[in-house]
Structure 1
Amino acid sequence: MILAAGEALGTQPSPEPDDAPLGDLLSLLDQETELATRSGMNADFVPGMATILSGSDMLARGARTVWEALSLVPGISQGLEMTGERQVLSRGVGFGYASGNIKFLLDGVSMNSTLLATANPVLNIPIEQIERIEVIRGPGSSVHGEYAFAGVVNVITRQSDRTIHAQANERAAAGGGGIWHWSDPQRDLTASINLTGLAGNGGVSVSEDALFAIGEPELSSAPGPSNEASRYLGAFADLRWRNTFVAIKILDDDYGDHFGINHFLPPSGDRLVSGQRYVSAQVGQDLVLSDSLDTRIRLESLQHERTRDRLYVFPPSYFDEQPVYMDQDYRETRYLGAADLHWHGWERHLVLLGFEVSQVQVDRASWSWLNLPFEIPESWLDTGLDRRILSLIAQDEIRASEHLTVTAALRLDDYSDLGAFLTPRLATVWRIDEANILKLQYAQAFRPPTFYEREYPGRESIGAGEIATYELGYILKQPRWEGRLILFQSDLVDPIVFGDDDGFINSADTRLRGVELEYEVRIGPRVKVDANLSYVDTVSRDTDGPLPGGTDTLANLAVIWRPLDPWTAALQLRYVGDRSRPESDPRDSVSGYAMADFTLSYQRTGPGVFAHLGVKNLTDEDVRYPDLPTGFGGVDLPYPDGYPRPGRRWWLSVGYRF
């Protein structure tokens, strides 16, 4: 019905051209990215498949955070850790406690902590602060090094807007912010600041926790709500003067203890229990040395703090009459110096030579326990830990002809505590004609153990995980529609996982095979359909079973309709298949779901009011994420039905553009 109405409206005379207000939402755009090769290139021509999500498109489709937006990418699914940290699974890889298998960049600066390899505050950035998100699925270590194991995500913040906005979400956070941009063309000077603050007391109803599963329901806080209180602050400042750039990013992300560290539901109270703070600084310069030689030099620092304030660990009467709480304090600091040299000296060649040196050190790591009936050491991590990495990158983009490009890359990472890793990539892109593009790629990546994994009791010998991926891609482009197909096989060697009762281990080798399909079509000037479908078959060499936490089938369907020029309506459908549990878990798989979001947007070109009103989970679908193994006491304490997620709820974002 929506498509028919859009087609009928599209046949009516209109004084506006196709690129009228919000026309970018309905257009099939060619976009550039530096994510795959560190050189600006049309996203269709890069090795592998790149997905670029624009901020305006994500808002129109109802995504509220980076985490939600990533689920619109083929092969990407969501997960949740028991105390509230977001998870992102790429092609089924990424389930488990402290699972950092994707490299997260914020305006090009790596945000993965060396403690856990995760970057939770980046996933919680509101879409109002985002210009676009660039995603590469599959290995990316040949360019980006550590943690670019199952994918690379670069979150690019808004810097050229002048807006203020307020937002509210039912049963979630509310707040607001603004973006201001200033420029002086005569001095070739630009500056921007991007601020947003949110706070809320969300939660979902929980009927049973692990205490029911072990026969002690009288000790439980269930039935009751999960503690999903939250407070977020994001402050991004950017300055560019001629060829020099400076950026400072501050992320404060505080949240409740959700479902409990040991799957014991915390008592209600909407307390902020966990906190993560990221402060990054970058200064650099782009230099043109000659007609064939240019370079980018940059210095970066990242400070990551992670705290726990009265984290609920054990209920009353589990050990003693009083509940057991834990406080935790951790801070690490990373410094990086890097230089990229691009050389056009050979005909039909673009050579990249890169050099990076970095050091990360633990500044403090302590914890304290309240009401624990026995003594444990005050420090849970060696505060003398540090890691130094020396990295060299060599990449050659060879234009064998006007239509054929071959990219060969090799990266060496030498770790002071782990040894050296060599990661190659070889890719070919054949632009058969204006409509047809064929891609082939072989790439390797590695995932080093984190500080926490290396220090986990008995895990000193844990080694790095490795992956090798073969990809065949095809793109077909037409004036009003385009399709993409990618076939892949990945072989994982010694992947790092959190075992059921052994803590962190190098698990059995795994094989992934899958297909991802994307299709965009513009139906008349006022309707666009965006769809994708992915299927992956994962098999552990040890058990012949699938990887836990993931699903074999994911699908997205978005219908975007502009009935009148200032107005846009979007219906976003999401299907997630059944998700597997660990081999040792006898329970059935977590049931899949089909969820619908509806969003109505008002926005004109130029200054003026803009607004987005949406409903998440329109049909009030029962959505649950697989519960993670706790590893407590050598046994797994399950949540009987997984982690429940909110039902139907509304959200609103309004603002003014100057």
Structure 2
Amino acid sequence: MDLLCDVFSRWGGRLRGRRSWRLGWLLCAVGLVWCGKGQGTTRTEADQIAGLLDLLETETQLATRSGMNADFVPGMATILLGDEMLARGARTVWEALTLVPGMSPALEVTGERQVLSRGVGHGYSSGNIKVLLDGVSMNSTLMATANPVLNMPIEQVERIEVIRGPGSSVHGEYAFAGVVNIVTRTRERVLGAIIAEGGAQGVAGRWFWEDPARDLEISVNLAGTQGDGGKAWVERDALDPLGLTVLSNAPGPANAAYRYRSLFTDLRWGESFAKLRLLDDANGDHFGINHFLPPDDGNRAARQRYVALQLGHRLALSEMFELELRAAAIEHQRDRDRLFVFPAGYLADEAVFMDQDYREYRYEAAADLHWHGLEGHRLLFGIEAAHVEVDEASWAWSGLPFALDPEWLDTARSRRILSALVQDQFSLGERVMLTATLRYDDYSDVGSLVSPRLAAVWRIDASNILKLQYARAFRPPTFYELEYAPKGDLHVGEIASYELGYIFKRPAWEARLILFHSDLTRPIQFDDQDLDGFVNGPDARLQGVELEYQYRFGARFKIDANLSLVDARRRDSDEPLAGGADLLANLALLWRPHERWTAALQLRHVGPRHRAERDPRDAVDASTQLDLTVNYRQVGGGPFVHLGVKNLTDTEVWFPDQLTSYDGVGLVYPDGYPTPGRRWWLSVGYSF
């Protein structure tokens, strides 16, 4: 027995420092389970194996493009595992991101999903987070958003990788306040069904096939859901402050009807791969584009359709050089069908509706060269090229008493991007890793940008890790913002961030702390003074602290908690940035009374949310929401059941509304955007 323990320890230690480090961690962890080397508490074998799986599943390439454990990458990375997100009651990617410290959800007026990171990201055409789907960028150049990806059911998700803070040195545009990569499920055979209160329903399925002799794998992942969205009740809309309630559809429910469809296929043959992603997402016009409540007719007035094809090949040139080649073609389509604009009697005798069509194409090519020529160094050289062009941008109106140009955006718009990056990860002994990254991006329409990053990770001992990082990022204006920037040129927004992180790990528990300070220069925003388009707003600064804590009581009980405190303010007036909350907190209690059963309570607290500076209303009230989920799953396959109740206590939760205008008049909902109350959901299926 002692001899086996010694073999596991010695060979695991040797391999952890080499390219086969995952095998090294596996051997060390197996040795730990085999030999019973727990410290500080008694742990069961099942608990140790669970810890081993957590370790192996926290590998990420998001921060450096090289596989590393999330604890050792520059900055703070969060990895949300799909099974645990389901167990905690998250239904979509958008909901799951609220489990990440410092991130909070928001809504655009017609229902498009938004995510704020450390208080940044509120407002129309908000695109301050880079959204990747299996490594492929999904941010449209029209508005830099990726609504269909945020609406993905968690049943399709293997894990979500998140970097909080700037990420442009590796990922370029829109990696301004964070980077999110959604990794979809593969290598599974599953059939499932989804139902929820209010007639919501859906199906999901996954299938894979492999031929080990040819080193060939094919997988398919599909889902489709639809429903009424919970029908949040609206008492008053923007017609109330105008004294025109006789024209209003309020009181009544918001039109939150939705339909989501997706198909993901993956083909891998040796070191070559192909990925096809089809997403079709449609939703109702929620609160109305001008804050006039639409009719409760279930019309899915807004639709987005993404088609993305990526091809790639990995090539080992020698023992020192590895080359990865990638090419992608992406179609972004955004349509409106009878979008409610004005009620009857406001501009004309009949109601005004709008139809709108938009389509853009993006073509990308990239090459990454990894070099391992010097001991303790890992060099990365990358080049990228992208071209974006608008294919269609037209609209048609019904009921409008005057004519408009049939094109709402210049269809001659295009953008060419050339990028290059170099990164050096070098070790000072076995405990200190330094990372230096420099990226250069040249845009054909908005100029050139340089994004540096310098980071250090010090593994003080087996329990303590210290991190330091300085990084800069940028956010170019979108096509929509450039089209509606009446005050002249719109410049690129930039951010510089300083971070200090600390991780403390013990066999049964771990804690993480990060302190950050960020300076925003010329952030792009909707003009909250004149309400006539997009401008570079005043400089701002962010500073705050994020805390994370996990504790395992054996193999049966787990606590997962985080707390975020942020102070995000404009430098000219010292007023808080709109949309964000100074305090965010999560607390999850997971109980596993039997290997097949899990119960989870998820508590989410959001402090008061700030409104725009010129908005005289009080901040949106704080809210605390409780979700309950019960899960059944057999180990190794078979039937599974997830049954949950969202907002168990039926708490009122509001999102801050955005400033909109018509003819220079600010139009707002008197109370903000309400959300649905208590509702149940059920996900069932069979794993083969």
Shorter-chain-normalised TM-score: which range? Answer: over 0.9
Ranked by relative contact order (alpha carbons within 8 Å, sequence separation 6 or more), the top structure is: 1
Residue in structure 1 matching 2:131, options 87, 99, 104: 104
Q: Give, in angstroms, the shift of residue 509 of structure 1.
A: 0.4
CA–CA separation in structure 2 for the residues paired with 1:33 and 1:81? 31
Distance in 1 between residues matched to 2:471 and 2:46, nearest whole Å:
44
Report how far residue 611 of structure 1 moved: 0.5
Q: Report the Cα offset of residue 205 of structure 1.
A: 1.2
Q: Deviations over 1:374-415 (max 9, x none)?
A: 111010111111000000010000112110011000000000
Distance in 2 (CA, whole Å) between partners of 1:390 and 1:118 is: 21
Give the share of equivalent positions with the same residue, in percent: 62
User: How does 1:566-581 map onto structure 2 within 5 Å?
Assistant: 566-581=596-611
- Equivalent residue for 1:420, pick from 434, 439, 448: 448
Q: 2:424 aligns with which of 387, 392, 396?
A: 396
- The match for 1:327 is 355
Aligned counterparts, 1:67-216, within 5 A: 67-171=94-198, 173-202=200-229, 203-216=231-244
Aligned position for 1:504: 534
- Given that 1:543 and 1:583 are in contact with CA atoms closer than 8 Å, whether structure 2 keeps it comes out as no
Structure 1 residues 644, 70: CA separation in 2 closer, same or farther (over 3 Å shift)? same
Q: CA offsets per residue over residues 441-481 of structure 1, 9 Å max, x none?
A: 00000000000000115154011100000000000000000
Secondary structure of residue in 2 paired with 1:263: coil
Write the mapping of 1:245-260 to structure 2, written as runs, cut at 5 A.
245-260=273-288
Q: Which amino acid aligns with 1:656?
A: Y
| Residue 364 (structure 2) aligned to one of 336, 360, 369 | 336
C-alpha distance in structure 1 between counterparts of 2:336 and 2:57, whole Å: 45
| Partner of residue 379 from structure 1, selected from 392, 400, 407 | 407
Amino acid at match of 2:647: N
Residues 28, 481 of structure 1: 8 Å contact kept = no
Runs of 5+ in structure 2 lacking a partner?
1-41
C-alpha distance in structure 2 between counterparts of 1:331 and 1:505, whole Å: 25
Aligned CA distance change for structure 1 residues 445 and 14 (closer, same or farther; 3 Å): closer
How many residues of Structure 1 are paired with residues of Structure 2 in the alignment? 644
CA-CA distance at 1:346 after TM superposition: 1.4
1:322-357 Cα offsets, whole Å, 9 max, x none, are 000000000000000000000001121100000000
Pairwise CA distance, 1:27: 6.1
Inter-partner Cα distance in structure 1 for 2:240 and 2:159? 44
Amino acid at match of 2:245: P
How far apart, in 1, do the equivalents of 2:159 and 2:172 lie? 22
Q: Which residue pairs with 1:361 in the alignment?
A: 389
- Could you tell me how far apart the structure 1 residues matched to 2:47 and 2:161 are? 26
Q: Is the 8 A contact 2:362 2:386 kept in 1?
A: yes
Q: Provide the secondary structure at the position in 1 that maps to 2:658.
A: coil
Aligned mates of 2:329, 2:241 — CA distance in 1: 46
2:296 aligned partner: 268
Displacement after TM superposition at 1:607 (Å): 2.1
Change (3 A) 1:633 1:569: same
One-letter amino acid matched to 2:232: V
What one-letter code is carried by the residue in structure 1 that aligns with 2:562? N
Question: Aligned match of 2:505 in 477, 480, 486?
Answer: 477
SS, match of residue 598 in structure 1: strand
| 1:17 aligned onto 2:17 | no
Q: For 2:458, which of 426, 430, 437 is the aligned residue?
A: 430
Following superposition, the deviation at residue 636 of structure 1 comes to 1.6
In structure 2, what is the equivalent of residue 551 of structure 1? 581
CA distance in 1, matches of 2:51, 2:389: 45
| CA 390–27 in structure 1, closer or farther in 2 if over 3 Å, else same | closer
In 2: Cα distance, 1:409 partner to 1:109 partner: 21
Q: What is the TM-score when the length of structure 1 is the normalising length?
A: 0.96
Cα separation, 2, equivalents of 1:319 and 1:150: 40
Query: 1:592 corresponds to which letter in structure 2?
Result: A
SS of equivalent residue, structure 1 residue 563: strand
SS in structure 2 of the partner of residue 17 of structure 1: helix
**1:225 matched residue in structure 2:** 253
Deviation at 1:635, TM superposition (A): 2.5
Could you tell me how far 1:564 is from its partner in structure 2? Answer: 1.4
Query: Over residues 41-77 of structure 1, what are the superposed CA-to-partner deviations in whole Å (9 max), with x where a residue is unaligned?
Result: 0100000000000000000000000000000000000
* 2:169 match: secondary structure: helix
Take 1:242 and 1:295, find their aligned partners in 2: how far apart are those partners?
Answer: 14
Contact 1:403 1:430 in 2 (8 A): yes
| Correspondence list, 1:450-465, <5 A | 450-456=478-484, 458-465=486-493
Q: Which residue of 2 aligns with 1:302?
A: 330
Q: TM-score, normalised by structure 2?
A: 0.92
Query: Residues 89 and 172 of structure 1: is their aligned pair in 2 closer, same or farther, counting only changes over 3 Å?
Result: farther
CA deviation string 1:129-181 (max 9, x = no partner): 00000000000000000000000000000011110100012136311120001
AA aligned to 2:234 is: V
Q: Report the aligned-residue RMSD.
A: 1.5
Quick check: 202-211 or 83-92, which moved more? 202-211
Q: Are the aligned partners of 2:485 and 2:535 in contact in 1 as well (CA < 8 Å)?
A: no
Q: 1:16 to 1:145 in 2, by over 3 A?
A: closer
Q: 1:495 to 1:14 in 2, by over 3 A?
A: closer
The letter for the 2-side match of 1:417 is D
Which residue of structure 2 aligns with residue 8 of structure 1?
A: none
Report the 3-state secondary structure (helix = DSSP H, G, I; strand = E; otherwise coil) of the residue aligned with 2:293.
coil
Q: Which residue of 1 aligns with 2:72?
A: 45
1:38 CA displacement? 0.3
Q: Distance in 2 between matches of 1:121 and 1:55?
A: 18
Return the match for 1:348 from 368, 376, 385.
Answer: 376
Answer whether contact 2:44 2:554 (CA < 8 A) is retained: no
Distance 2:271 2:437 in 1: 27
1:5 is matched with which residue?
none
Superposition misfits of 4+ residues, deviation over 4 angstroms: 13-16, 23-30
In the alignment, structure 1 segments of 5+ residues that lack a partner are 1-12
| Counterpart Cα distance in 1 of 2:685 and 2:311 | 32
